Amino acid sequence: MRSTIYLVMFVIMHSTDISKSTGKTMPGASRMLILLTVVNLFNFLDRYVLSAVLEPIKADLNIRDDGDMGRMATAFMLGYFLTSPIFGYLGDRLSRKKLMAIGVIGWSLGTCLTGIAQGFSFMIFCRVMVGLGEASFGAIGPAVISDAFESKKRNKAITIFSLAVPLGAALGFALGGVIAAYLGWRSAFFITGVPGFLLAALLFFVREPLRGQSEEGPVSKEKISVKRLWSLFSNREYLFANLGYVFYTFAMGAFSFWGPAFLNRVHGLDVKDASLFLGPTLVLGGILGTLIGGYFSNKWRKIRPSGYARLLLISVLCAVPFSFIAFLTENTLLSMISIAISLIFLFQSTGPINTVIVESVAPNMRASAMAICIFMIHAFGDLWSPELVGRVSDQFGGNLRIGMLILPGAFLIAGLFWFFLVKEQDNQVNETH
């Protein structure tokens, strides 16, 4: 666990010159970024431990079918997306570091309680609690980073913050599988949940930037209202970015939930081996993909204002053929290689998509915009995709391969909306000239 945190810090300090930045970047921004990245790592670690131990939980709690297993992911997403607008609204008005700390405490407690669950209903309650806690951090974290870093360094900072997504997911898969193999699945939730309480305490000592602090020119002080929030849906740039993100999240959420079980059932890997493959693959593919995406999107942005959007479009379309191969082939090695290549392409979008979203709205609306984004991508994306894949699998006699074939189609639809995003940004440039 400690070595992983050191790895995150190493990547942060060596992948960008943020620590030496000047101008309107907030003093101490790099230290804040390190802490928020580590917190984000545990955010995704605690989320994905469940996926690594699905089969032991199903046997121990006598859960009947795959659809019910998928409902545990649905429960998490209910807690997550239903409360994210509330935290987004509060995040544009109250102390953001306190709201983030409360969220970390909430999800850490929910993770620990998952380890004592004796029945399906209580397990559902615990996953709702984890989702509720993570909603606070997910809505507010990117907005805080956007205010701390000036525009030319913002995408680098958010890309580094996004490195925690593959690292945390990988640790969740790997630690969950290994701990479950030696100490039982319940211990996996205790061991991964406890560190969050320390991180929550550290958040109280972080310096919080003023809203819009890093912007050039005057920043609107207009209060957030329902009318202003509703106006986001007439913002075509914001809307196309989010609609593509919905279908991207639909597919990624289903894969992250069913990935270990797919390798276990279709290709015969045991739970431990499947987790140990997906863990390092997510680390290497996630870091490589995220850094590649951040690098090329910054390069393309210097040439075209739609550079970030072009990276989103190209990366998701490149992942489609490899994801089809991964789910169709009978060859285990080819399937694993295709999964790895797909993840490298898919993780290229993790930084740029958040940058596009926060830059498409006014600075004093960023937490609310991120919160509405979270609501959309989960309400219409991965809230129901794990259960849908499970239900399709049940309809075909437990054939998980058929259920997983839904996912490449979702990536294609994501690419379609991000194509519209590219056109919208290019049209805005043409209109200004």
What's the pLDDT tens digit per position in 127-153? 888 888 888 787 788 888 888 888 778
In a domain, 276, yes or no: yes
In a domain, 153, yes or no: yes
Choice among 64-73, 145-154, 413-422 with the minimum mean pLDDT: 64-73
Q: What is the pLDDT of residue 9?
A: 41
Q: What are 281-314's pLDDT values in tens digits? A: 877 888 889 889 888 888 888 888 888 999 999 9
In a domain, 203, yes or no: yes
**b/e map 339-368, b = 16+ CB within 10 Å:** bbbbbbbbbbbbbbbbbbbbbbbbbbbbbb
**b/e map 222-260, b = 16+ CB within 10 Å:** eebeeebbeebeeebbbbbbbbbbbbbbbbbbbbbbbbb
Tokens of 255: 């894969």
Q: What are 161-187's pLDDT values in tens digits? A: 888 877 887 788 778 878 888 888 888
Give the residue from 377, 414, 382, 166 showing the smallest Cα distance to 289: 166
CATH code, domain carrying 376: 1.20.1250.20
In a domain, 150, yes or no: yes
Q: Into how many domains does the chain fold?
A: 1
CA-CA-CA-CA torsion sign (351, 354, 356, 359) = negative
- Please state the pTM of the whole predicted model: 0.70
Domain that holds residue 183: 2-14+25-213+223-432
In a domain, 162, yes or no: yes
Q: What is the pLDDT of residue 216?
A: 58
In a domain, 218, yes or no: no
